Structure 1
Amino acid sequence: MKLQFKHQPFQAEAAAAVCDVFNGQPMRTTTYRLDLGDMTNVQTDLDMTDTGFRNHPLVPELTNARILDNLHAVQRRGGLKPSDALAGPGINLSIEMETGTGKTYTYVKTMYELNARYGWSKFIIVVPSVAIREGVYKSLQTTQEHFAGEYGKKIRFFIYSSDRLTEVDRFASDSAINVMIINMQAFNSSKNQRIIDKKLDTFRSRKPIDIIAKTNPILIIDEPQSVEGKQTKESLKKFNPLFTLRYSATHKEKYDMVYRLDAMDAYNQHLVKKIAALGVTLTGSTATNSYVYLEGIDLYKNKAPTARLGFEIKGATGTKTVVKKVSGGDDLFALSNGLEEYSDRYVILPDGIDGRDNSVTFLNGLKLYAGQIQGNEQMTALQRRVQIRETIRTHIRRERELYPKGIKVLSLFFIDEVAKYRLYDGDNDDGRNGEYARMFEEEYENVVGELQREIGDEAYLSYLDKISAHETHQGYFSIDKKKGKKARFVESKVDRKTQTSDDADAYDLIMKDKERLLSLDEPVRFIFSHSALREGWDNPNVFQICTLKPQSESEIRSRQEIGRGLRLCVNQQGERMDESVLGSEVQELNKLTLVTDMAFGKFAEALQSGLAESLADRPKKVDVQLFMDKVLTNANGDTVKVTRDLAEAIYEDLIGNGYVKRGELTDKYYADKASGTVQVAEEVKDCAASVVSILSTIYDSHSVELEDAHGNNVEAKVDPDKLKKKEFLALWEKINQKSFYTVSFDTKDLIQKAIDKLNGHLEVSRIFVKKEYGEQETQIQSKDQLLQGESFKQRKADQEVADHSVLGSVRYDLVGKIVEETGLTRATVAAILAGMAPQKFAMFRLNPEEFILKAGKIINNEKATAIIQHIAYNKLDAAYDTDIFTAATLRGKLGQNAMPVDRSIYDYLIYDSDGERKFAGQLDINEKVALYVKLPKSFFISTPVGKYSPDWAIAFHEGTVKHVYFVAETKGSNDTMELRGVEEAKIECAKAHFAAISNSSITYDVVKDFEQLISLVS
């Protein structure tokens, strides 16, 4: 892949703003006699020249007063506050550009423009760290061909090194555009004199700084807030700069600002990704081992809020973790199917779900906020695991959406130490997975397996199948390349001041392989990186950033880590997916999800505070002063300077049009702005765009929205007109009747069959104790023997079943629990347990929960077999009301588990599997279907083995097929051999129920897919 670059107006405007400050400077090239130094030991046949090229000084006509006039014109044009005077000594211009908008591209373009207009050709880029240095070098490489095509020439660039001082001579003697990239550490003298300031024998008795200063270079300072301490400012004077340009998203000192594209501008102009946050946080211990995770709160206009809560439930084969929608008053003990861990008052208070602070409060005093977890012995590890899981889940869902568009999705994990990712046992060891790498591979397999059931795109599934969990992640750390040892990841040396790594090896893969990482042929999609690599590099296709280390609010406010993923993504052709390609969908496709260990509210507050700090100099209200002395431009390019009278007219008209109230812009203004219909005063009606541009400088804390990734996209709503359609009314009349059942079977026969099955088939997992014994060697021969762990040898290993009960302090009503599982009487259950073989019954103490689950399942299967043959249904007078459709709250995410539909009574379908999505898709387009509905869970049939809810109710157009009303249950297979026990019993009960209430005027059956449905009704 080769990255493509576009000519973007804002970058050209930034370059023009710098150049226009020097209007009046002629186009000139200047030579001088270059000091070659001591040539005594230099071979005479060496090609040497004493002609040097330097930047021509500012001409006498370009006085400070004229430069200030030029500066004011530039500032008024850009809506910036005019400088009172030049910020000396020298000329110092500031350019503010939000991270991800192409800051490096912009100053490279500015160098070309300054050369084209004025002939200046010597530039020095000063950077604070190795990361930024390597990023700048890579940018100069990748943009070289692009700019050469525009300007007809190439820049010669190099990284300053005291080991390669011949580059300094070439910098001074070459007539082309020359760029030196230099770390501030190379010249920032303190107590010890730097090499750059010394006369060197290797440099023919010259000082490198003297040769550089003679070129009168233009200084470009990248991230000046990290470069310019007191000492550095003094050291910069040694370069004898013609003038200085400073580029950053977060300037500490503004100097003379000539261009601003801040966070608010970048977001509103759709130049960076939209940010979403997903918080996963810890809460304190509550002296319980119960696991509870609050995913989020859902709010409604006409009813109490609900919560999405993660907890464990007792399933068919064991306990599992689920996320369910819960309401005030719900009891986790009941919802978990009676897990004892939730028996201590895990009841949500009636008003315990609070949308104001996104919290849930339980009767036992526990209060959780959105994203928080409690109740695990290793909570920190669990928190990190959940963060990894949520990052993978978000990645797969985003990837499923973008894969067909040819867009590679990358996720980035920031960690604080290499050992969490890779562990080594010796100098020549290839290494093994650390804690986070192990977690990643485990969770990746689980998440992909879980989500594959939702994925219907065969091409994407094939792409997933080709990539293993192990090969799809990679670490980017410093590399130890010591002779005689295998290369291995090591901790970077981190600069205390900048908190970034000074090791160039740490950046090799990130910088040199950026294009390869963007290719769908490259299996690496998940990147683990040291937190010290948080600035100076980025990749446009990072869509998820997960920070697996504690974060302070000050770190979040600095937005350094976030900046790694703000750049708009590219496709497989290297084309930037911006507004010119995507239109209004640009920020929905370009969304950066931050998975953080802070609650969403706290994280959002910290991030917004950082944005507010960076926007502190923006005007806060609309008043007459806002327009004073501004320059308005009409469509023809004509300009007018705003006087006080004109400013008052503009302001009064804004109030009259309802656009301003008490100094703040109103919703009416934003609505008209969105539709392009903003009305302005008659005197400036030809300059409406300029007026809107000035109003856009107002700081509004809501201008840069932060999306809560816990939230949902859509809520399915019932179409009231469809509830009144004759097709629906006829269908509903046929299926809404309730029924009761009677069942009789030989209890003694059931007891004996259950005993036989339990004795023959019941097995539960045993707890084992593993014992390993080793001894230290009699003699230690060497230090290496200790370092490599060879002074100890394992002698014996054994494992045995634990000889103690695992029940602990938990007491079970075993008969009662199995009664709950089976619905049989206590006497019947007691008879079954009493009849079990002693060795089988003894399994209860080995693993109580599993014993109850498996015994209950075996008994239920025997019960179900008896029920099928002996059940009878009878119609009741009671019936379901259509309120069950309006009362059901159905929410989902488009493209993940929600789709818009036309023939359903809902406007969206919330589906549980890819099979349901496909089935509904066929129902929605088939002309034979009049109307259908996915039945809510509150519509159920009572059976002896639990409530049963069919999936679909479908009405066909009369005359197109045999006129039937069909209730369908969709399964991946309708082979009766795969529908055993309880499931088969429920289906048979449903058939008996519909036969009883409809006199065979409605059909109920299990179908595999839509094709089988049509075959049945035709």
Structure 2
Amino acid sequence: MESGELDQYRGFTISQIDAVNDTVEFTNGEMLRAGEANGDVSERDIRRIQIRETIKAHLDKEKQLFAQGIKVLSLFFIDEVVKYRDYGQADEKGDYARVFEEEYELLKAEYLSELAIDNEAYRKYLASIDSAKTHNGYFSIDKKTNRLKDPAVGARSVDSDDVDAYDLILKDKERLLSLAEPTRFIFSHSALREGWDNPNVFVMCMLKHSDNTISRRQEVGRGLRLSVDQHGDRMDHPAVVHDINVLTVVASESYKDFVAGLQKEIAETLSSRPRQATEDYFTGKTLATEHGPVEVTAAIAKQIYRYLVKNDYTDDADQIADVYQEAKAAGKLADLPEELKPHAEQVFQLIDSVFSDAQLPKVDDGRKPKTNPLNANFEKKEFQELWARINRKAVYRVEFDSEELIRKCFSALDSQLRVTPLQYTVQVGVQNDGLTDGQLRSGDGFSVTNTTTERGDSIHSLVKYDLVGKVAENAQLTRDTTASILGQITPAVFEQFTRNPEHFISEASRIIAEQKAAMVIERLAYDEVDERYDVDIFTANQTGQDFSRATKQLKNHVYDYAITDSNVERDFVKELDTSSEVVVYAKLPRGFLIPTPVGDYNPDWAISFKAGSVRHIYFVAETKGTMSSMKLREIEKTKIECARKFFDEISKRITADRVKYDVVTDYGKLMDLVGRAA
């Protein structure tokens, strides 16, 4: 019945469907994976599917970003111009252009029929654009006829003609990024070779056969730019940068093959980051603790190494194994030895500094449905009452004495700044006697005879650094204030700059920023303004989320699912969703930000309790696995303290049922804070 009685499916009887792994097994032993085709599938069919999927991905992204004034562009790579622009046809349209317009009209009608009433602005925008005017091609120009030509024809195709076409695109770049310009889909033959790129390419489609001279990494790189809005401002805010700037690639090969190839190319082109977790690597490194830096001695390095080996967290080549990354992601790492437990966070950061394939950028399978719409809980009176209380914006004021900041900073630098010296390892090896072909192929033709590690004064960087400028930029201070701080630290501490300038700059910036953050809390004040957050922040960026971190479908959440960042949050959601006291709750969108002097802050949860069940029925919560100061960085603690002052300020005008804000480790802690009703 599933086959529709089609002959090509005769003999195929489904035995099992695995929705988790996206596979279908048949009784004849065949297995198909999602994204793979088996049987008589023509090239033309595949290209049509690619074009359709590209348009769908484009419209999904455009629907999210339109309200933020971000123009979405999609780029098609083609191998023959005639497939898009055919001068032998009366309308000069090639196969790809015809297919695009057919599929675009069908999908446009489908999206217009589904768009919600509250998305009227985007509906008008989409309806106003003609399918023939929304795509364009970028190819070489024949100077004699002033018409586009296939750059594959003629020896001069790599010279000035393509450069002239590129200049045309450069001149029109501002217009291309304007929402008033209908062109949103670009078909290109030579964009890679000529270096064409645009920050707002969100979807790429490979309508061409694989070319070994151009890597997947190079192709994907054309879309790895931070987008800009209609004002030309980069979308680089830390809270939303990774939600907005997501590239979708539509390739003709299977998802599995594409990702495997891309990851391999990325790994091959990475710089020489350490790949082996050895005792030698760990020895001499520095652990930053709340009581000051601790150097990793040979004894500590041996404990870390033995811990990894004992738990099979490294393989026979001393490289970090997948089992370590899996245990870390699940929050189930084995306990460290007692001597290392006080420095657990720093030890694991040190282990993570060793490269492993699992740390490569994650590529999600965009074919799976990934929408997380708002549901009826959002409209509940209890949530709207809570939203009305926290939907406030404010500006902050900070007044503090620069001289006091300077004194605290240079004192902290003297006591805390410890820099790991630069070092390098020299290995001497000899070719083995009786060398065989098998040894050469396996890389065993040479043996190391001696290893020497040089550290400290024997290494000097020849790169010139703007020390004051970089620290001032990182700590967000003036150059004068920064120079005063650095000029007063003791010579012995300052001398470390020559041993490892990069580490000196990063550590000095961190220590100064932490001292600044501590002073800020004491002198911070918020002033409420009339502006409010728009409800659009709840609908923006809801498509294409990482559903590998999603909970099961929920009953009291304003979205169908919650995308959690940790096991602590996942357990917290389970309790909230089954609690008889909780009416409705929301994982606050990343666009909900509280300004602080050390960066914008995004609280985790907004919770509305049943009236009469607790003393504080409206609550904003930040979830943390531990309240230990070792786990909370100074900047993070400062943001939390700033949030307390923010909610105190916006609650002053509310006479009844004020919002309470606090940090909780679990649901039990939350109930202690809201208090049972008397």
Say if 1:353 and 1:361, in contact at 8 Å, map to a contact too. Answer: no
Q: 2:385 aligns with which of 730, 743, 754?
A: 730
2:621 aligned residue:
968
Report how far residue 1013 of structure 1 moved: 0.7
2:519 aligned residue:
866
1:718 aligns with 2:371: no
Say if 2:395 and 2:529, in contact at 8 Å, map to a contact too. Answer: yes
Say if 2:547 and 2:563, in contact at 8 Å, map to a contact too. Answer: no
Q: 1:1003 aligns with which of 657, 660, 678?
A: 660
1:302 aligns with 2:151: no
1:950 aligns with 2:606: no
CA gap of 1:277–1:770, structure 2 versus 1, over 3 A, is farther
Residues 25-70 of structure 1 deviation map (CA, whole Å, 9 limit, x = unaligned): xxxxxxxxxxxxxxxxxxxxxxxxxxxxxxxxxxxxxxxxxxxxxx
1:821 aligned residue:
474
The 5 A counterparts of 1:84-163 are none
Report how far residue 352 of structure 1 moved: 1.8
Report how far residue 932 of structure 1 moved: 0.8
Q: Report the more deviating stretch, 903-912 or 796-805.
A: 796-805
Q: 1:448 aligns with which of 326, 348, 356?
A: 326
Say if 1:772 and 1:794, in contact at 8 Å, map to a contact too. Answer: yes
Report how far residue 858 of structure 1 moved: 0.7
CA gap of 1:852–1:273, structure 2 versus 1, over 3 A, is farther
Separation (CA, whole Å) in 2 of partners of 1:449 and 1:906? 29
Say if 1:101 and 1:271, in contact at 8 Å, map to a contact too. Answer: no
1:361 aligns with 2:14: no
1:903 aligns with 2:517: no
Say if 2:12 and 2:26, in contact at 8 Å, map to a contact too. Answer: no
Report how far residue 750 of structure 1 moved: 1.3
1:349 aligns with 2:198: yes
CA gap of 1:795–1:991, structure 2 versus 1, over 3 A, is closer
Separation (CA, whole Å) in 1 of partners of 2:383 and 2:558? 9
Q: Which has the larger radius of gyration?
A: 1
Report how far residue 730 of structure 1 moved: 0.9
2:402 is matched by which residue type in structure 1? T
1:42 aligned residue:
none
Q: What TM-score comes out, normalization by structure 2 length?
A: 0.50
Separation (CA, whole Å) in 2 of partners of 1:902 and 1:803? 64
1:982 aligned residue:
635
Say if 2:399 and 2:523, in contact at 8 Å, map to a contact too. Answer: yes
Q: Secondary structure of 2:525's match?
A: strand
The 5 A counterparts of 1:899-938 are 899-938=552-591
2:389 is matched by which residue type in structure 1? K
Report how far residue 760 of structure 1 moved: 2.0
1:354 is matched by which residue type in structure 2? V
Q: 1:750 aligns with which of 396, 405, 408?
A: 405
Structure 2: stretches of 5+ with no match in the other structure: 17-22, 37-56, 66-71, 75-175, 178-194, 207-218, 227-246, 250-257, 276-313, 336-356
Report how far residue 936 of structure 1 moved: 1.2
1:715 is matched by which residue type in structure 2? T
Separation (CA, whole Å) in 2 of partners of 1:744 and 1:347? 47
Report how far residue 726 of structure 1 moved: 1.5
Separation (CA, whole Å) in 1 of partners of 2:248 and 2:7? 46
Q: Secondary structure of 2:606's match?
A: strand
1:757 is matched by which residue type in structure 2? A
The 5 A counterparts of 1:432-831 are 442-453=320-331, 709=365, 711-719=367-375, 721-771=376-426, 794=449, 797=452, 799-801=454-456, 803-806=458-461, 808=463, 812-831=465-484
CA gap of 1:849–1:718, structure 2 versus 1, over 3 A, is farther
1:392 aligned residue:
none
2:47 aligned residue:
none
1:275 aligns with 2:275: no
Q: 2:269 aligns with which of 369, 379, 383?
A: 379
Structure with the largest fraction of strand: 1
2:415 is matched by which residue type in structure 1? G
Separation (CA, whole Å) in 1 of partners of 2:509 and 2:269? 32
Say if 1:776 and 1:793, in contact at 8 Å, map to a contact too. Answer: no
The 5 A counterparts of 1:870-885 are 870-885=523-538
1:352 is matched by which residue type in structure 2? V
Separation (CA, whole Å) in 2 of partners of 1:710 and 1:793? 46
Number of corresponding residues: 406
Q: Secondary structure of 1:757's match?
A: helix
Report how far residue 849 of structure 1 moved: 3.5
Say if 1:929 and 1:954, in contact at 8 Å, map to a contact too. Answer: yes
Say if 2:456 and 2:499, in contact at 8 Å, map to a contact too. Answer: no
Residues 544-571 of structure 1 deviation map (CA, whole Å, 9 limit, x = unaligned): xxxx9xxxxxxxxxxxxxxxxxxxxxxx
Q: Report the more deviating stretch, 1001-1010 or 980-989.
A: 980-989
Separation (CA, whole Å) in 1 of partners of 2:408 and 2:429? 51
1:855 aligns with 2:508: yes
1:47 aligned residue:
none
Separation (CA, whole Å) in 2 of partners of 1:97 and 1:952? 53
Report how far residue 97 of structure 1 moved: 8.0
CA gap of 1:996–1:361, structure 2 versus 1, over 3 A, is same
% identical aligned pairs: 31
Report how far residue 953 of structure 1 moved: 0.6
Say if 1:814 and 1:852, in contact at 8 Å, map to a contact too. Answer: yes
Report how far residue 1010 of structure 1 moved: 0.7
1:747 is matched by which residue type in structure 2? S
Separation (CA, whole Å) in 2 of partners of 1:976 and 1:794? 47
Report how far residue 377 of structure 1 moved: 8.7
Separation (CA, whole Å) in 1 of partners of 2:266 and 2:541? 33
Separation (CA, whole Å) in 1 of partners of 2:64 and 2:435? 72
Q: What TM-score comes out, normalization by structure 1 length?
A: 0.35
Report how far residue 944 of structure 1 moved: 0.9
Say if 2:13 and 2:27, in contact at 8 Å, map to a contact too. Answer: no
The 5 A counterparts of 1:258-337 are 272-276=30-34, 299-300=60-61, 302-303=63-64
Report how far residue 954 of structure 1 moved: 0.7
Say if 2:396 and 2:526, in contact at 8 Å, map to a contact too. Answer: yes
Report how far residue 733 of structure 1 moved: 1.2
Pairwise CA RMSD: 5.0
Residues 685-708 of structure 1 deviation map (CA, whole Å, 9 limit, x = unaligned): xxxxxxxxxxxxxxxxxxxxxxx8
Q: Secondary structure of 1:829's match?
A: helix
